[in-house]
């Protein structure tokens, strides 16, 4: 197998964590929606936490993307 | 590691020994974008009044909003760090937003700048720890209520997780912005042949630019709030 092909397969494998991150982001927002639906007055307290959790989870996906970039371009 | 090299256009090379103080598009971007922020703040608060008018009202509204958020984490003990966190957030926000303008050097997608900010937060955290707890700061790294055998292992783990905090802060910001720029570049490069279909990619890149403005604000907020949580964690000590 050529090195370039192996690098591309490796980069594709490196972004597999997107599976878990997608599940996690869906979980965060479904929990946010159900929390606000149960008690709408709590929205202003819960929303920044949800955004923070979303950003932290998204960062995981982007770390995977970083590894993919490192494999491809280094 | 050419990914982490800064490829900037140098206008005026200035070197003191090995230190690089050159005036390049990187340094111009870092200096002039926060200058806009400074001017807005300066003209808003130059003649501060008890009954604020339009611009002063706007600035105070933003400050009080984020003051409330940071105060919720820091409480009375850490109240004096709120201006630092607020200016850190606005600095990152202005740079993130300015980097979306075509032709402006993307500073916050360079690990150089974000790691510098991370080191600033890390040094501040450590100084706060030693000032507020003295030499008992090491209690922070030993969780209470664990058997004595585990203490050395957990101490090493806690110190490691303490030292990795600025790295994760810096990498999160840099990679988020880098991913945004790469995505815009890829979508926009579909339209370089200017076929009738390129209208689609131009429209998509327009929508994504608006999305990137949201990401710019979100990442600035996340950087400041995480720094705030770390500082609050150290002020509180380890229970």
pLDDT tens string A51-73: 888 888 888 888 888 888 888 87
**Chain A contact probe: residue of B172, B219, B228 with most A CBs at under 10 A:** B172
pLDDT value at residue B2: 54
| Domain range enclosing B85 | 2-236
Residues of A with Cβ-Cβ distance to B172 under 8 angstroms: 55, 59, 62
Phi and psi at B12, nearest 5°, equal -145, 100
ipTM tops 0.95: no
pTM (two decimals): 0.86
- Å from A47 to nearest chain B CA? 12
Q: How many domains does chain B have?
A: 1
Positions in chain B whose pLDDT score sits under 50:
1, 239
Structure confidence at residue A29 as a pLDDT band (50, 70, 90): very high
Residue B181 tokens, joined: 């720029």
Secondary structure string (H, E, C) spanning chain B: CHHHCCCCCEEECCEECCEECCEEHHHHHHHHHHHHHHHHHHHHHCCCCCCCCHHHHHHHHHHHHHHHHHHHHHCCCCHHHHHHHHHHHHHHHHHHHHCCCCCCCCCCCCHHHHHHHHHHHHHHHHHHHHHHHHHHHHHHHCCCCCCHHHHHHHHHHHHHHHHCHHHHHHHHHHHHHHHHHHHHHHHHHCCCCCCCCHHHHHHHHHHHHHHHHHHHHHHHHHHHHHHHHHHHHHHHCCC
pLDDT value at residue B5: 62
Residues of B with Cβ-Cβ distance to A69 under 8 angstroms: 3, 178
The proportion of chain A whose per-residue pLDDT surpasses 90, expressed as a percent, equals 50
Residues in chain A whose beta carbon is closer than 8 A to a beta carbon of chain B? 48, 51-52, 55-56, 58-59, 62-63, 65-66, 69-70, 73-74
Contact A62 B176 (CB under 8 A): yes
Q: Smallest Cβ distance to A69: which of B3, B176, B221?
A: B3
pLDDT value at residue B110: 86
Q: Smallest Cβ distance to A63: which of B171, B219, B222?
A: B171
pLDDT value at residue B93: 94
Contact B225 A48 (CB under 8 A): yes
The rounded mean pLDDT for chain A is 89
**Chain B contact probe: residue of A46, A51, A55 with most B CBs at under 10 A:** A55
- Å from B71 to nearest chain A CA? 13
Instruction: Please answer whether residues B3 and A74 qualify as being in contact, where contact means their C-beta atoms are separated by less than 8 angstroms.
Output: yes
The proportion of chain A whose per-residue pLDDT surpasses 70, expressed as a percent, equals 100
A-B Cβ pairs (cutoff 8 Å, strict): 38
Q: CA of B20: how far to CAs of B14, B17, B27, B92, B218, in Å?
A: 6, 8, 11, 23, 32
Position A43 pLDDT exceeds 60 = yes
pLDDT value at residue B3: 53
């Amino acid at each position: 197998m050529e090195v370039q092909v192996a690098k591309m397969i490796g980069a594709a494998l490196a972004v597999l964590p997107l599976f878990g991150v997608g599940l996690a982001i869906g979980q965060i927002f479904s929990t946010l929606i159900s929390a606000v639906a149960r008690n709408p007055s709590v929205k202003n307290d819960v929303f920044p936490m949800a955004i923070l959790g979303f950003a932290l989870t998204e960062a995981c996906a982007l770390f995977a993307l970083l590894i993919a970039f490192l494999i491809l371009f280094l | 590691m050419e990914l982490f090299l800064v490829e900037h256009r140098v206008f005026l090379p200035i070197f003191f020994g090995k230190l690089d103080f050159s005036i390049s598009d990187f340094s111009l971007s870092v200096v002039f974008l926060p200058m806009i922020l400074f001017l807005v703040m300066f003209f808003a608060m130059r003649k501060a009044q008890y009954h604020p008018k339009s611009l002063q009202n706007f600035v105070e509204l933003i400050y009080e909003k984020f003051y409330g958020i940071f105060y919720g984490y820091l409480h009375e003990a850490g109240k004096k760090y709120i201006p630092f966190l607020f200016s850190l957030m606005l600095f990152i926000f202005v740079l993130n937003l300015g980097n979306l303008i075509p032709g402006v050097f993307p500073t916050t997608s360079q690990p150089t700048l974000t790691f510098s900010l991370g080191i600033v937060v890390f040094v501040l955290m450590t100084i706060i720890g030693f000032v507020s707890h003295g030499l008992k700061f090491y209690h922070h790294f030993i969780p209470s209520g664990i058997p004595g055998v585990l203490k050395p292992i957990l101490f090493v783990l806690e110190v490691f997780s303490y030292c990795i905090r600025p790295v994760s802060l810096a990498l999160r910001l840099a990679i988020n912005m880098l991913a945004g720029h790469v995505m815009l570049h890829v979508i926009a490069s579909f339209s370089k042949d200017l076929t009738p279909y390129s209208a689609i990619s131009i429209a998509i890149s327009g929508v994504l630019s608006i999305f990137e403005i949201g990401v710019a604000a979100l990442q600035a907020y996340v950087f400041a709030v995480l720094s705030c949580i770390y500082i609050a964690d150290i002020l509180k000590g380890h229970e």
